Amino acid sequence: MSRIDESRPFIPLKIAVLTVSDTRSLDEDRSGATLADRIARDGHILADRKIVTDDVPAIQEVVKAWIADEAIDVIISTGGTGFTGRDVTPEAIEPLFEKRMDGFSTVFHQISYEKIGTSTIQSRATGGVANATYLFVLPGSPGACKDAWDGILKWQLDYRHMPCNFVEIMPRLDEHLKRGKLREA
């Protein structure tokens, strides 16, 4: 079973949050605020936070810049994962993946199912890796953001989480490029 190994140091990650919405401003962005609060509460650094409209080029412009920024370890987007015509976040971000993380979606839906039942199938939450940066695409509700963070990301983004976590493999994500991104403290 999973556990926290207190003998290992906590390594704070730099996490960027992107809210995709045609209707919200930063002041009204409850989902982005939920993620930002949890990131800080759990000892990580909010590297950046933005809102863009449900537009593939606009989403990709921000995400590509963050992927290229070696100071950003993780990108979490919220919003635009449904089935309506304006829900285009997976279409914008998935083509940027070098590797898809199918297990993220599976576990997210398991957690979500416990809370909202079969309505979880209305989300196209996904995850992947690009340029040694983790990317997670979440639904636009604060509840879904809480579920993803509290049930998955909080643990996998903690170097002390055992038996394994995303942090310990970060230096090897781009080993094909012969450079490591994370330098342990």
- CATH code of residue 120: 3.40.980.10
* 99 Cβ contact partners less than 8 Å away, ≥ 6 residues apart: 128, 129
Q: What percent of the chain has pLDDT over 70?
A: 94
Q: Which domain holds residue 165?
A: 3-174
pLDDT in tens, 148-165: 999 999 999 999 999 999
pTM of the model: 0.93
What was the pLDDT predicted at 43?
A: 98
Give the pLDDT mean for 117-141: 96
Residue 184 within a domain = no
Confidence label for 99 from pLDDT (cuts 50, 70 and 90): very high
Residue 37 within a domain = yes
Residue 162 within a domain = yes
Residue 182 within a domain = no
Give the pLDDT mean for 102-115: 96
What was the pLDDT predicted at 177?
A: 59
92 has pLDDT over 80: yes
Residue 85 within a domain = yes
Q: Domain count for the chain, please give it.
A: 1
